[in-house]
Structure formats: structure tokens, C-alpha cells
Amino acid sequence: MVALQEAEKLSRDMGIDLLGKMPWGTHICLFYQTKEDLIEVLVPYFKAGLQNNEFCTWITCDPLNGQQAERAMKKAVPRFGQYLEKGQIEILAHGDWYLQEGKFAVVRVLKAWADKLNQALTNGYAGMRVAGDAAWLDERTWQDFSKYEHAVNETIGRHRMLAICTYWLDKCGASQIIDVVNNHQLGLVKQDGKWTLTKNAERKRAEEKFLEYQAQLKSLASELLLTEERERHRIATELYDRVGQSLAASKIKLEGLRQSVAGKKLREAVDEICSSLSKAIADASSLAFDLSSPVLYELGFETAVAEWLSEEVEKKHGIETELRDDEQIKPLDDDIRVLLFRDVRELLVNVVKHSQATKVRVSVNRVGSQICVTVEDDGVGFDPAEVASEAATRSEFGLFSIREQLVHLGGHLEIESAPACGCKVTIMAPLRRGKITNGG
């Protein structure tokens, strides 16, 4: 069950109730009889893609041409003209995409899809969602197109791409239908007025491996996080207890000797050494706190966040801070508590470095069986899609790596921001299951 929930969080909303959410790399065939069948499935499919920051390409062919497809989208999608104008969706005729000088070339079309996906990711889109109609096929081109579909099915799972290939039943014989089903992970067909979904054996095996992989990945990520935190906590404790206390003891002894020191210059030198020791003690304490907050272990998550806000944000940088806690009991497993604190701390560091904010507020609430943490500032804000694209280009992680870390532990993250509108980041994570105590 855990792995299933994990897979759902990593998947995309297909916009179609029967399909629900599917992972990147899903390749579906759709058998239709009328253009109304196409509109019924593909319009909500593309609507979901536009709303989820995906680049969309619709390759059309009679009985549903490009103009009809565009009218259907305008009717169903508010502000569709804006999506079209900024180039987030394109509606192309089959001849302009699949054919060149009247010929279909498998390698050329596959490369064209790869180039289009790379461009979409470069432009900051989450991935690409496509649909292509095969009603134009004849006996001469069927075999080459079948090879093309097989190649797509073999490779699409490695890419941030969703595809629905549509086939007009009036033009498909029994052997062709078998070819199509074998070349796709899933099939959609209308029976007695209702859409039904079929899976081929390869798809079922792939799903089982995917779920198994997700469960292993979650376990490894959680263990790695705890191992790293245990080591950080050990180093911080050693730094504070041994180095810090040794320096403090040396300072006390030196201050005691200062009373018996004769000569102004010698006393000034001792004072200077004491001052240096004080700074070293403060630096050691600060470094130990940066490595691992002792408050997190002794007094809990909320208190650790409050201290970080006060000491590291307000006092050091002059940013007004506020902590809102609903004061409900929120028991947390060790990995969740550690990850939440590290993520909130990273978000606050981003506020200090980049936001130009004058105020930041952290809210901690219990929502059912989850903890909800929001970090909100009144700074300059940003375009999340643009920042994600720039980070990917520079192979950086930061804010957007937090989302993936949370997913591994059964949580998720949402970002609300725009230029000149500040930023609000919401983190949801599961509470500890079982009997609730005052700890956590």
C-alpha cells in the first residue's frame, strides 16, 4: 500500500476519470469511432496538461481536423487563447508532422519528438503531453508506423512524456488491432457507451517492478537521511562538548590569571586572547547548531523552528519573524522530524539570501493524520517554472530537491509565488502512526 501511494504522488493527472493518474512514460492507444469520442477523451487530457505546466502537442487528422480540435479546446479551457499564444500547446496536421515529401520516416519522427521534448524542458515545462491520430495510415505505411510505435513504447518510459495514439476503428482490421495493443502499455475503447481500459502483460510487469522500486527507494532514502543526521548530530555533540567546553575552560583559567598579571601591555594581550577565545566558543557553538540542532532532539520540532527564526533570521538579519502553532499534538517519526527541520531551515536560508523580505511567517498545523508546515514571506517572489528551468540547466537542486525528498517519505510540497508577490511554500508530511503520546 505504501508503494502504491508513492507511485500515485509521482504520477501525472491524465484529466480522464478512468485513467486517473499515470507516471511519466505512459503510452496509451485509443480506439474511437466518431470525432466526438476523440473530443471526449483528448480535450480533458490536454486541459490537465496545460494546467499542470506541461507542453502539449496534438497531431490531428480527419475525422477531427485542427480547426475543430482548437474550437473544442477553446470551449472547454478558460483562457485557452493565452496558452496558444505563449506556445504551450500546438495543434498540427498529420501531414506536417508525420510526413515529409509524402513519406513517413521512423528515425526522423522519433528524433523530432526527442528535440521537442528537450526544448520543452529547457523552456521550464514539467514535461510533454502528446496525442497523435493514425487515421491517415494505409497498407503501405502501416508496417513502418507499427515499428515506430514499438520504438516509442520501448523508449518512452525513460522520458518525461505522456502519449495517446488514436486509431479509427473503421480503418483497423483484427490483425492491426492486435499490433496496436501490443505496441502500447494501455488501451482505451468504448463498449456499450462506456470507456474501458485494458493493460497488456508487459505493462503489468512494468508496474510491479515500478512499485517495488519505489518501495526500495523510499526505504533507502529514509535510511540515508537518518544515517547522515546521526553523523551530523555526533559531530555537533563532539564539537560542542569537547571543543567548546575546552575553549570555555581555557578562557576561565586565563581570566583568572589576568588578575595577577603585571604590566598594562601584558594585560591587554591577555584580554585580546580572551576575546579571541570568546569568538571561537561562539563560532563552535554556532557551527554545532548548524550541523544539528540540539533543541530538535531535546524539545521538539516546533521549538527548534522557533529558535532558528529568532536567532538566525531575526537577530542576525533583521527580518521580522512570526511562528504560528495550533498547539495540537503532532508526533513525528525521526526521519520526518529531521527532514522537516532541514527543509524549513533551507527555506528560511533562501528567504534571507534571495527574497529581500521584511517579514517571514512559519505556521505549523495538524491536518488529520498529517503535519502541515507553511513558510511565507513578503519578498520579491519568483516564477517557479522559470527557477526550476534555470536550476535544471545549472544542475542545482535547493528548493526543488525538497519536493523529491518529501515524496520518498510520503509527503509533498507546493509552491505559490510570482514576481513581486512574495512566496508561500506548503509542506505536508505524515504523522507517526499508532498511539499518540506527548513526545515527538
pLDDT tens-digit series, residues 267-279: 778 778 888 878 8
Residue 187 sits in the same domain as residue 84: yes
* Cα–Cα dist 339/43, whole Å: 40
Element (H, E) at 165: strand 161-168
* Cα–Cα dist 440/428, whole Å: 16
Q: How far, CA to CA in Å, does 217 sit from each of 23, 277, 408, 414?
A: 16, 46, 7, 22
Residue 340 sits in the same domain as residue 419: yes
* Cα–Cα dist 181/194, whole Å: 19
Q: Is the pLDDT of residue 176 over 50?
A: yes
Of 406, 251, 407, 265, the residue nearest 338 (C-alpha) = 406
* Cα–Cα dist 425/355, whole Å: 13
Residue 264 sits in the same domain as residue 320: no
Domain extent, residue 95, equals 2-199
Query: Does some domain include residue 216?
Result: no
Number of structural domains the chain divides into:
3
Can you tell me whether residue 22 is helix, strand or coil? strand
Which amino acid does the sequence have at 438? Answer: N
The confidence band for 1, taking pLDDT boundaries of 50, 70 and 90, is very low
Q: Looking at residue 163, what is its pLDDT?
A: 96
Of 424, 408, 440, 428, the residue nearest 331 (C-alpha) = 440
Q: Looking at residue 400, what is its pLDDT?
A: 58
Q: Is the pLDDT of residue 61 over 90?
A: yes
Query: Does some domain include residue 209?
Result: no
Residues 216-229 have pLDDT tens digits of 766 676 677 667 77
Q: Looking at residue 192, what is its pLDDT?
A: 86
* Summary mean pLDDT of the chain: 83
Residue 21 sits in the same domain as residue 118: yes
- What pTM did the predictor assign? 0.49
- Phi-psi region for residue 157, left (φ > 0), alpha (ψ -120 to 50) or beta? alpha
Residue 399 sits in the same domain as residue 275: no
Residue 275 sits in the same domain as residue 303: no
Please say whether the beta carbons of 348 and 312 come within 8 A. yes
Q: What is the CATH number of the domain that holds 387?
A: 3.30.565.10
* Cα–Cα dist 339/402, whole Å: 9
Residue 182 sits in the same domain as residue 65: yes
| In 185-237, beta strands by DSSP E | 186-191, 194-199
Q: Bigger pLDDT: 15 or 255?
A: 15
Query: Does some domain include residue 204?
Result: no
